[in-house]
Amino acid sequence: MKEDERVIRMSDLRGWTPSRPSYGVVGWPVSHSLSPAMQRAALASLGVEADYLAFEVRPEELEAALDAMGKAGVLGLNLTVPHKALAAGLVDELSEEARLAGAANTVVFGDGGRRVGHNTDARGFARAIREEFRMSLAELKVMILGAGGAGRAIALQVARERAERIVVANRTVERAEALAREIAPIFLDEKLVGQAARLRAVPLDPAALAGEVDGVDLIVNATTVGLRPGDPSPLPAHLLRPHHLVYDTIYNPARTPLLEAASEAGARGANGLSMLLHQGALSLELWLGRPAPVEVMRRALRRAAG
Active centre residues (catalytic) = 84
Half-sphere exposure (CA, 13 Å, Cβ side) for 171? Answer: 7
Residue-by-residue DSSP string for 262-274 = HHHHT-EEE-THH
Cβ atoms within 10 A of the Cβ of 254, count?
A: 13
For residue 291, whether the previous peptide bond is cis, meaning omega lies within 30 degrees of 0, is: no
For residue 253, whether the previous peptide bond is cis, meaning omega lies within 30 degrees of 0, is: yes
What does the CA dihedral 239, 146, 223, 66 come to, rounded to 10 degrees? 170
CA distances to 136, 166, 200 from 197, rounded to whole Å, are: 21, 9, 7
